[in-house]
Amino acid sequence: MPNIKDLSFEDALSELEAIVARLERGDAPLEESIDVYERGAKLKKHCEDKLKKAQLKVDKIVLGSDGSASVEPFDSDN
């Protein structure tokens, strides 16, 4: 298995989806299910971290009353 830190968001999400499907089928022994679940939890955190980093990079363009444009950090509350 590849190191989670080396996975792109898309690869990590794909693996996480496969893990969820496998756990939902219930076809793995208990110990293996626990290991797979733990990897899934780590993949979920990795995906969340990647999304957070991407969100921090997003800027919004704001138009002033005089028509001038400026850039401000993304604010998810608006």
Domains and CATH numbers, the chain: 4-73 (1.10.287)
* φ, ψ (nearest 5 deg) of residue 67: 90, 0
pLDDT at 32: 95
Q: What pTM does this model have?
A: 0.72
Between residues 64 and 4, the one the model is more confident about: 4
Between residues 42 and 55, the one the model is more confident about: 42
pLDDT at 22: 94
Confidence of residue 61 (pLDDT cuts 50, 70, 90): low
* φ, ψ (nearest 5 deg) of residue 66: -90, 5
